[in-house]
Amino acid sequence: MTILDAEVRLAAFEWLERRIESIGDVLPRSILAQGFEFKGTRVPLLGPQGIFKPKILPEIPLSITTSPKGPYEDSFATDGFLLYKYRGTNPQHHENVGLRKASIENPPLIYFHGVVPGKYLAVWPVFIVGDMPDQLTFKVAVDDMTYIRKMKDVVPGNGMVRDSDAEARRAYITYGVRHRLHQRGFRERVLSAYKEQCALCRLHHRELLDAAHIIPDNEPGGDPTVRNGIALCKLHHAAFDNFFFGIRPDFVVEVRRDVLKETDGPMLRHGLQGLHNTILVIPIKLDLRPDPELLSRRWVQFKKVA
């Protein structure tokens, strides 16, 4: 890895930090494709293909991307690391060769995880830690910048410094990132399906909306899928989680009896009691609507409390 290569990567990381601080961690593709300027040269961070190398870099890609509706099925291995598919089926394709070189020279890359079309979560630094040509797959690990020597101190050609604790540390960090990606992706997909409004009160302020699990993610069946989610404002999310109301498999809302009998001001009257016997606002597409079987399981739990 040359001095130029190291400087570009560090500049990309710093640019991403600034963008996330200003607009949040879900980044639009348009901003990432535009990129930043480095010494008079524009450096985009991703391109049409998943494995991307800007022209300013000589050989090794800067980023890898998983698209929410892409042709490749990237996943996580049993050891916690990300499995990233080759470009096509030819191991000697120049993009695959570039990532293979990254596994040898050990430069840090960026991983863009598509949560919904046109929106991505950025993870860095990531490293190519394995190459499995028989499976047309690379193994990718996430690390922490605090454990890595500053790039300006890297000796050209030696890549990043490797240390004896790297594998265990990266497995732990990658596992945590995996959970964050799944949950943030779940939120974005659910809010998109519900057109960014609460399914009960139709509140549209994104900052006040959550993606509520029908079946909690720590229970069997609590997968982070749209059909196990409902877009709710923070008040109704907390009330749903604590069984103040339940949702029948036919999408009708029933408020707990003792809550209906309470007298506690306009918020209770309009925010909760007024929901009784109303119908959930659900997506038009059938494959985005709450799964009736999951609602039925949740309904049984609610009735035990009610």
pLDDT at 149: 56
% of the chain at pLDDT higher than 70:
92
Contact yes or no for 108/126 (Cβ under 8 A)? yes
Please give, one letter per residue, the 3-state secondary structure of the chain.
Answer: CCHHHHHHHHHHHHHHHHHHHHHCCEEEHHHHHHCEEECCEEECCCCCCCEECCCCCCCCCCEEEECCCCCCCCEECCCCCEEEECCCCCCCCHHHHHHHHHHHHCCCEEEEEEEECCEEEEEEEEEEEEEEHHHCEEEEEECCHHHCCCHHHCCCCCCCCCCCCHHHHHHHHHHHHHHHHHHHHHHHHHHHHCCCCCCCCCCCCHHHEEEEECCCCCCCCCCCCHHHEEEEEHHHHHHHHCCCEEECCCCEEEECHHHHCCCCHHHHHHHHHHHCCCECCCCCCHHHCCCHHHHHHHHHHHHHHC
Residue-level pLDDT at 146: 77
The least confident of 119-123, 144-148, 269-273 is 144-148
* pLDDT at 100 exceeding the cut of 80: yes
Q: What percent of the chain has pLDDT over 90?
A: 69
pLDDT (mean) for 151-162: 49
pLDDT in tens, 169-182: 888 888 888 888 88
Average pLDDT rounded to a whole number, residues 3-24: 93
Mean pLDDT (whole number) for 253-260: 94
pLDDT averaged over the chain? 89
**Cα-flanking dihedrals φ and ψ of residue 21, to 5°?**
-65, -35
State phi, psi for 178 to the nearest 5 degrees: -55, -45
In this predicted structure, the answer to whether residue 263 has a pLDDT above a threshold of 90 is no
> Residue 156: pLDDT band by 50, 70, 90 thresholds?
very low
For the chain, the structural domain boundaries read: 3-190, 195-305
More confident residue, 121 or 171: 121
C-alpha to C-alpha distances, 15 to 9, 25, 105, nearest whole angstrom: 10, 13, 23
Round to whole Å and give the CA distance between 65 and 138. Answer: 13
Distance CA 297, CA 94 (A): 50
Which residue type is seen at 296?
A: S
In this prediction, residue 160 carries a pLDDT of 54
pLDDT of residue 152: 47
> What's the pTM value of the predicted model, to 2 decimals?
0.79
pLDDT at 153: 47
Residue type, 124: W
pLDDT at position 305 is 86
Give yes or no for residue 30 having a pLDDT over 80. yes
pLDDT tens profile 40-97: 999 999 999 899 999 999 899 999 999 876 544 557 776 778 899 999 899 999 999 9
User: What whole-number distance in Å separates Cα of residue 90 and Cα of residue 304?
Assistant: 57
